[in-house]
Chain A
Amino acid sequence: MRIPMRTMTAIVALMLLAAASAAAQSTIPGWSEKAPTHKQVVAFVAPATATVTAGKPTELELRFSIREGMHINAHTPSYPELIPTTLSADDDSEAELTETKYPDGTDLMLGSNPPEKLNVYTTEFLLYAHVRAKAGLHTLKLKLRYQACTMSACMPPRTIPVTIELIAK
């Protein structure tokens, strides 16, 4: 059976698209090209820029990645001593953070007899930040505090910067 040239071209183009898509997914967005240090468990992925309504709180969807094999406490951890994931504004931020909506975590069972049930974020999570800025261009400077663990060890709490260039109009 002879495949028409146009069909062949379409098949090859689709293969090319699939390969390009796989290539795009081969690295976690937000990580630097070099392997991050062990201290870099969470990466801010997007957005780098956003447009908001001047003078009114606007909701921004912030995407974060978590290193494979690790988890961080959700905003409402399972018990009070655990350090919650929190987003806050830097003192020198040019725009205001008025509210943050946190997602529910997922349950993670640690150990047995009896198991510790933990409320955590894994892989990727979204925060909804309500921000307010006067008309113009501003740098929104936020910070995310988290405390990460593997199934067998916990790292001390860390804070990473979350910087977004805002266009308020």
Chain B
Amino acid sequence: MNTAERKNLMSEVGNFVRFIISELKPKGKILTPFNVITGAIILAGGVLIVIRFVKGLGATTNLSQDFPWGIWIGFDVMGGVAIAAGGYVIPFMVYILGLEKYHPIVRPAVLTGFLGYCFYGGALLLDLGRPWHVINPLIGNSFGLSSVLFLIAWHFFLYTICEFVEFSPAITEWLGWKRIRQIVGGLTVGAVIFGITLSTLHQSALGALFLMAPTKVHPLWYTNLPVLFFVSSIFGGLSMVIVESSISHKVFQVDPEHHASFDDIVVGLGKAAAGTLFLYFTLKIISIAHGNHWHLLNTSMGHWYLVELIGFVVIPCLLFTYGVRTRNVKLIQTVAFFTVVGVLLNRLNVSIIAFKWDAANRYVPSWMEIVITLAVICAEMWAFRWVVNRMPVLTEHKGWEEEDNVVQMKKEVA
């Protein structure tokens, strides 16, 4: 390498470092109400996380010998993963079913999925008693092949990589790495297919975890868990994409052409959500009939079950259908929000509320568990905003297409 080349390389690296540093700085006003509130929560969460690791789980959580899993599992992991399902549902619609209409929301959906797994899956580390052994399921000689949790560990790991690969075109466009953009772009369909397969399995596996607790989970919820978890992740993911894109379209800059097709997209997603909700309702009814649990519906837990089933499945299904018929985008967005709440409630029911439902000392999360959960959510929103404000997520990347077209034409001529 001669001096000129070396100089050139040094200046390239220098440019790159300067670019990253400039991008790391916050954009826009810093002291907004949103920033102040979320910043305070993240700060408080950070302090509590330190306490948790210094003093142990007992100092910060209300977990007990009877309730070893609280909201960090039941809400953050179970719920977070379910509503991050847009990361495989939307790529399925676009890359497998070829529904090009939904292309504009692939990147935000995949980004939501990827960050969801990083943050809510990452929150798992807070809950592990011995997190320094978290690598044990992946390396070494202690593979617990008979464990559903083993499958989930591997799938979280592999799926997060898939989501990263699916999102990496946006990263390369941001960095201006054109050649790498071509390589990672070619990996997309493979990553999508692998990602959907992994999602099918680990979304249902989160339900299958509780198959090991037949005497602890209330019989109304202890039915057909894997299939119900999978199907509910579909409409949970679809609804979350509706909610997230509705907010994004208000908060962030979006291409005008996206705005035009936006209503169509929301209506289409609402239709898909209505369909899967109906399928889910049917499966729920079959499960009750199969276990002959009708009499349990008229108990206090049965009433609670009906709140979940009617309030957050039947009514959203009907309202989605009505909203699609009348093309009422506002209604669909509102219903989507309640559907997300319903999926979160279902996960909480299976893992906490209907778990040892007859126990004398119930688990109620401590305020510290709640603050840390909120901190994780706020941190994820910051990360989402950081990425969206810098990378082509809601906007189309401009500049390369013309060059690409020229290359394409040259090829065709040749």
Same complex origin of A and B: no
